Amino acid sequence: ISKKLEPFQYTVWTEFTPLAIKNKAINLGQGFPGFPCPDFVKESLADATNSNENQYSRPQGVPALVEEIARHYGKKHNRVINPMTEVAVTEGATEGLLSAFLSMVDTGDEVVIIDPSFDLYVPQTILAGGIPKLVSLIPPEAGQTKWGVDFEKLEQAFNEKTRVFVINTPHNPLGKMFSSEELQKIAQILEKWPNVAIISDEVYEHIAFNENKHLSLCDFSNLWERTATFSSAGKIFSVTGWKIGWAVGGPEIMRKISTSHLWTTFCSNTTCQGAVARSLRMADNPYMGFPDYYQWIANQYSRKKEILYEILSNTKKFKIEPMEPEGGFFLLGRVNPNDIDPKYLANGSPDFAFCRWMTENLKICAIPCSAFFSPQSKHLGHNFVRFALCKDYSEYEAVARILN
């Protein structure tokens, strides 16, 4: 294996998904939906293939899809988006993020990333030749749930070598949604660094709980032009295997991402792009008694969050303090690993020990949060485990039978 890849041979997914399968455990680990996608989404895919949309496509995205994306996000960001220059369709947000780093980062350039972070920003930065500069969030006090931003530290992380700033809201794994006040302050810092590009990973944009509202950094301080705001059909329509994602933003930053995309996959899966275009169009229609599909899916996640919170609050199988998420696919629990079989603690950090123990002994899989923290702040993740909210009701019922 190349020296570049050598440090990145392990991912938490390649340990815990097989471990869940091997133990026949209920998998509340990896964030893929445990329920089928809507019928209108399935029918869209059948329609796309029957319409012979089966060959390579325009690299930046098939016209029907970029037009739907421009329409949808035009409404959201209250601006006219040019579908041909301000949208870049990618093979999932994953490839889009890689294309973004590859196209904006040269050897020795710095990338400021909020820590903890979804596990691929750091490896992708390094693969692009960049140096990740991680800025820790301030952990909540005992009994609290809010992770705070250390604006002073954030400000200090920027310098002449900084090329890219990365933010993720709703946040994986924390469930944090950056507030208007936080985004405003972050935007003020970015105003001082006009040459820094911004990657805003908003793949969980539609899943906000209670009074929380999803806000996009690109809508603050005229940051649109230099921000690539990512989303993913996988998360929106519960089709993570389709691997269709996109970014919206200014023409120059979109051109960079699409240029890199030419040399990674050239174009994304045409048939799935056609299906997503149709699905985005239909998602605005009333759905299952809700004014549109987005409100239905947000309500589903909200109900599952309540169910899981209740199960974890009432369990006597281990000590856990469930933490109310603001948005996204996940709920964190603060655990006390002293409760578990000590043989698991001999190998690795307490959160890993807890998740291995729970998967093997209780047949429930969750993800250890320290996997998302940088080496210098890993200790902050050691008492947190992450449970997915994107599973089927039957899976939460099964979890309740084990834990309650």
Centroid of chain to Cα 372: 12
240 contacts 32 by C-beta, under 8 angstroms: yes
94, 118, 225, 244 alpha-carbon torsion, rounded to 10°:
30
Residue 315 interacting entry, from ligand PMP, ligand GLN, none, C-beta within 5 to 8 Å by type: none
In the bound complex, which residue of the shown chain has the CB atom lying closest to ligand GLN? 31
For residue 32, what are its two tokens?
């893929």
Number of residues that bind ligand GLN (CB under 6 A): 4
Q: Is 245 a residue that touches ligand PMP (CB under 6 A)?
A: yes
User: Which helix or strand (DSSP H or E) is residue 245 part of?
Assistant: strand 245-248
**Distance between CA 339 and CA 358 in Å, rounded?**
11
Q: Is 94 a residue that touches ligand PMP (CB under 6 A)?
A: yes
For ligand GLN, which is the closer residue by CB, 60 or 125? 125
**Distance between CA 141 and CA 324 in Å, rounded?**
14
**Residue closest to 42 by CA, chosen among 34, 31, 50:** 50
In the bound complex, which residue of the shown chain has the CB atom lying closest to ligand PMP? 92
Residue 13 interacting entry, from ligand GLN, ligand PMP, none, C-beta within 5 to 8 Å by type: ligand GLN
Residue 30 interacting entry, from ligand PMP, ligand GLN, none, C-beta within 5 to 8 Å by type: ligand GLN
The least CB distance from residue 3 to ligand PMP, in Å, is 26
Q: Is 245 a residue that touches ligand GLN (CB under 6 A)?
A: no
Q: Would strands 227-232 and 245-248 be described as parallel, antiparallel, or unpaired?
A: antiparallel
Residue 210 DSSP SS3: coil
For ligand GLN, which is the closer residue by CB, 31 or 132? 31
Q: Which of 27, 44, 162, 168 binds ligand PMP (CB under 6 A)?
A: 168
The least CB distance from residue 243 to ligand PMP, in Å, is 6
271 contacts 56 by C-beta, under 8 angstroms: no
Residue 168 interacting entry, from ligand GLN, ligand PMP, none, C-beta within 5 to 8 Å by type: ligand PMP
Cα→Cα distances 329→176, 222, 229, 403, Å: 11, 29, 18, 21
Centroid of chain to Cα 319: 28
**Distance between CA 108 and CA 133 in Å, rounded?**
12
Q: Which of 57, 168, 172, 359 binds ligand GLN (CB under 6 A)?
A: 172
Tally: H helices and E strands in the chain: 14, 13
Q: Is 279 a residue that touches ligand PMP (CB under 6 A)?
A: no
The least CB distance from residue 202 to ligand PMP, in Å, is 9
Residue 232 interacting entry, from ligand GLN, ligand PMP, none, C-beta within 5 to 8 Å by type: ligand PMP
Q: Is 126 a residue that touches ligand PMP (CB under 6 A)?
A: no
Region 91-110 residues binding ligand GLN, contact defined as CB under 6 A: none
The least CB distance from residue 203 to ligand PMP, in Å, is 5
For ligand PMP, which is the closer residue by CB, 298 or 402? 298
**Distance between CA 228 and CA 196 in Å, rounded?**
12
370 contacts 349 by C-beta, under 8 angstroms: yes
Q: Is 31 a residue that touches ligand GLN (CB under 6 A)?
A: yes
Centroid of chain to Cα 239: 14
Binding site for ligand PMP (CB under 6 A): 31, 92-94, 118, 168, 172, 201, 203, 232, 234, 240, 243, 245
Binding site for ligand GLN (CB under 6 A): 13, 30-31, 172
